[in-house]
Amino acid sequence: MAQFEEVSQKSKLHPKPEGLTLQYGTAGFRTHAKHLDHIMFRMGLLATLRSKKTKSTIGVMVTASHNPEEDNGVKLIDPMGEMVTAMWEGYATQLANAEQDSLLKELKDIIEKEDINMSEPASVYVGKDTRPSSASLSQAVLDGVSSLGGKTHDYGLVTTPQLHYMVCCCNTHGCYGSPTVEGYYQKLSQAFLQLTQNALNRTDDQKRLLVDGANGIGALKMREMEPFLRSEMQVVLSNDGSSGKLNHMCGADYVKVQQKAPQGMNMGVGERCCSFDGDADRIVYYYTDSKGCFHLLDGDKIATLISTYLKELLLLFRHMFQFMLKLVTVCCTKTGVKHLHHAAQEYDIGVYFEANGHGTVLFSKAAQKQIQELVKDPNSNDERKRAVKLLESTINLINQTVGDAISDMLVIEAVLAIRGMSAQDWDAIYTDLPNRQLKVTVSDRRVIDTTDAERRAVSPEGLQDTIDSLVKKYKSARSFVRPSGTEDVVRVYAEADTQESADSLAHEVSLAVYRLAGGIGDEPKPLH
């Protein structure tokens, strides 16, 4: 077939380094950018097949999120803006690791297994972040799509959540919104402005927010969005990419792990501050108190703020909503947004956030339909009319396709404004136990296997017993370990009654991981 001939010819321009093996993980492929050219070409091929199979537009995002600037990566986006289905993750790994001379065989194998009609048209949306390597790597994706006769729309520089949004808009034929960057800004800003009308007498100080853009795409897009927000939000942007390096000593991951402010941000006492990650799909908030103590408001705090806000609104309609019977249910899943997203889809309203600040809110079709009916209800009293308009605008402000730092930031700002809360008030909803997150480099992360939503280690033998005995030494303590989804490291989490104890427990568990799970490099050192 002529189309396979073109694949064969073009693939020679994107050759696979012999012997290189990569796996499509929690966040797609990620590694040093120099190893990714062939991966990008092949993900262009796979996205084209996925488009033909689903008869929908598919997205391909070139980014390595919170990784260092020299890395890059790629994520595939399914028709409703969600992450690509697990079966096709396997195909991605299969295609990526095929040696050059067996690429066509692997491609035909997927076509046969999925019974793909190759005469179907294909449409692929492509976006990229601000990394120096992203331009050439996104071109490799475009080459892959065109070699199988697919049509592309190259969005250029966009945040990861913006591309998820575009894909969903396209496949819902505009019902979700307009598939343009300006359409995204208009939808979110309009909803934000409608919500903040309900916050009376806001001062300029209350509208002011310090934003750390991680020297990434989020900073660029925040600048573009500012005019749409008019005077209702005053953004003070630092780490905007004009001088610093992407994710270096800044960004959501740095702030979460180091539990301190990013470089380049001048924080006043009690001022609300937030940090995006490199591709703007995560956000964390923070502030310093009058004693100079740093307070982190992470994904858990964000989930609590949004959940309590929605609960207050919904309680006004408990006699109407069938789903009010189960107002709050807590569900635990394996780490990874795709697991949380699927779990949240089981509920009428699902609020999910990882502690790292990656998350969103999902509203079922039934819940959205009931809310729309209430908007039109002529018998509602003023209090209910106000509450249902708040719900409607909140739904429009939330990017339901994936965690979105810009959308989440606007939701948080609107909720704080409506409830008249400061960062300190928000922080006081509950008190976190002191905790510490560390990582241990290992030769192969797959030696760690977990169960019970990754709260217990099954292998290597003896590791969980060691963790259990270490935890018993401290008060109010817990500790979990899990392999990273993107690199050969094991993540260690520990909490206890004091910061000193949490730090000590985290170090001892890190040592156990290093010794029992094939740690490489120097042994973990005590934090103090």
**In the chain, how many H helices and how many E strands?**
18, 17
Within 23-100, strands assigned E span 29-32, 57-62, 71-77
CB 402 within 8 A of CB 180: no
Measured between alpha carbons, how far is 242 from 135 in angstroms, rounded to an integer? Answer: 18
| 460 and 494 co-located in one domain | yes
Pairing of strands 234-238, 273-276: unpaired
Looking at 359, 386, 402, the residue that finishes a domain is: 402
pLDDT band at residue 385 under the 50/70/90 scheme: confident
User: Does 366 appear as a known binding residue?
Assistant: no
Residue 489 lies in a domain: yes
Quick one: 475 and 370 in the same domain?
A: no
Residues 331 and 346 in one domain: yes
Does 351 reside within a domain? Answer: yes
30 and 142 in a single domain? The answer is yes
Classify residue 417: in a domain, yes or no. no
Distance CA 65, CA 441 (A): 20
Collapsing DSSP states into helix, strand and coil, what is residue 374?
helix
Q: Tell whether residue 500 is among the known ligand binding residues.
A: no
**21 marked ligand binding residue:** no
Comparing 347 with 100, the larger pLDDT belongs to 100
By DSSP bridging, strand 208-212 and strand 283-288 are unpaired
pLDDT at res. 273? 98
Looking at residue 325, its pLDDT comes to 42
Q: 233 pLDDT band (50/70/90 cuts)?
A: very high
Sequence-distant (6+) residues with CB within 8 A of 23 are 29, 93
Q: What is the pLDDT of residues 281-316, one digit of tens each?
A: 999 999 999 999 999 999 999 999 999 999 999 888
Q: Mark whether 115 and 22 lie in a shared domain.
A: yes
Q: What is the chain's mean pLDDT, rounded? A: 93
Q: Are 340 and 85 in contact (CB under 8 A)?
A: no
Identify whether residues 365 and 471 lie together within a single domain. no
Q: Which two tokens stand for residue 147?
A: 């070699």
Query: Does any domain span residue 370?
Result: yes
Model confidence, pTM? 0.88
The answer to whether the beta carbons of residues 441 and 517 sit under 8 Å apart is no
Please indicate if the annotation marks 384 as binding a ligand. Answer: no
Q: Is 486 annotated as a binding residue?
A: yes
Q: What is the DSSP string of 73-88?
A: EEEEE-TTSSBPPHHH
E strands along 78-232, which residues? 123-128, 151-157, 208-212
**Token match 């094939």: residue?**
518
Mean pLDDT, rounded, for 441-454: 91
Whether 484 has a binding-site annotation, put simply, is yes
pLDDT band at 327 (very low <50, low <70, confident <90, very high): low
Residue 376 token pair: 């039109």
The domain containing residue 334 runs over which residues? 300-402
Q: Is the peptide bond before 227 cis (omega within 30 degrees of 0)?
A: no
Tell me whether residue 79 is annotated as binding. Answer: no
- The closest of 418, 426, 493 to 453, measured between CA atoms, is 493
Letter string b/e over residues 62-91, b meaning 16 or more CB atoms within 10 A of that residue's CB = bbbbbbebebbbbbbbbbebbbbeeebbeb
Mean pLDDT value of segment 57-70:
96
Flag whether 277 is marked binding. Answer: yes
pLDDT > 50? residue 9: yes
* Domain membership flag for residue 416: no
Distance CA 289, CA 285 (A): 14
- Asked whether residue 324 carries a pLDDT value surpassing 50, the answer given is no
Q: Is the pLDDT of residue 114 over 50?
A: yes
Residue 164 domain-assigned? no
| Chosen domain end from 402, 418, 446 | 402
**Ligand-binding site membership of 131 (annotated):** no
Angle at 271 between CA 265 and CA 272, to 5 degrees: 85
Report which secondary-structure segment, H or E, holds 225: helix 217-225
In the numeric block, the tokens 């979105």 are attached to: 404
Task: Tell me if 78 is assigned to a ligand binding site.
Answer: no
- Residues contacting residue 14 through CB under 8 Å, at least 6 positions apart: 37, 38, 40, 41, 42, 140, 143, 144
Which of 161-175, 316-330, 445-459 reaches the highest mean pLDDT? 161-175
Q: Which of 8, 51, 56, 65 is catalytic?
A: 65
Is residue 6 assigned to a domain? yes
Please, where are the H alpha helices in 230-336?
252-258, 299-314
Query: At 216, which CATH number?
Result: 3.40.120
Dihedral of the alpha carbons of 479, 483, 489, 492, in degrees to the nearest 10: -10
Same domain flag for 283 and 318:
no
Q: What is d(CA 353, CA 339) in angstroms, rounded to the nearest whole number?
A: 11
Domain-embedded: residue 525: no
Residues 151 and 18 in one domain: yes
> Cβ neighbours of residue 62 under 8 Å, at least 6 residues apart?
40, 72, 73, 74, 126, 127, 128, 129, 134, 137, 138, 141
Answer yes or no: do 198 and 129 share one domain: no
Catalytic residue status for 65: yes
Backbone torsion region of residue 248, taken as left when φ is above 0, otherwise alpha when ψ lies between -120 and 50, otherwise beta: beta
DSSP string, 194-217: HHHTTSTT--HHHHEEEEE-TTSH
Q: Do residue 23 and residue 148 come from a single domain? A: yes
As a whole number, mean pLDDT of residues 325-331 equals 59
For residues 395 and 320, state if they share a domain. Answer: yes
3-state secondary structure 421-464: CCHHHHHCCCCCCCEEEEEEEECCHHHCEEECCCCEEEECCCHH
Tens of pLDDT, residue by residue over 394-418, are 999 999 999 999 999 999 999 999 9
Tell me whether residue 383 is annotated as binding.
no
How many structural domains are present in the chain?
Answer: 4
Which of these, 399, 139, 414, 138, lies nearest to 280 by C-alpha position? 399
Mean pLDDT along residues 219-232: 95
Question: 38 with 112, same domain?
Answer: yes
For 239-345, list the strands marked E by DSSP.
Answer: 273-276, 283-288, 294-297
CATH code of 78's domain? 3.40.120.10
CA distance 82 to 59: 10
Any idea how long the chain is?
Answer: 528
Boundary-marking domain end, from 254, 283, 298: 298
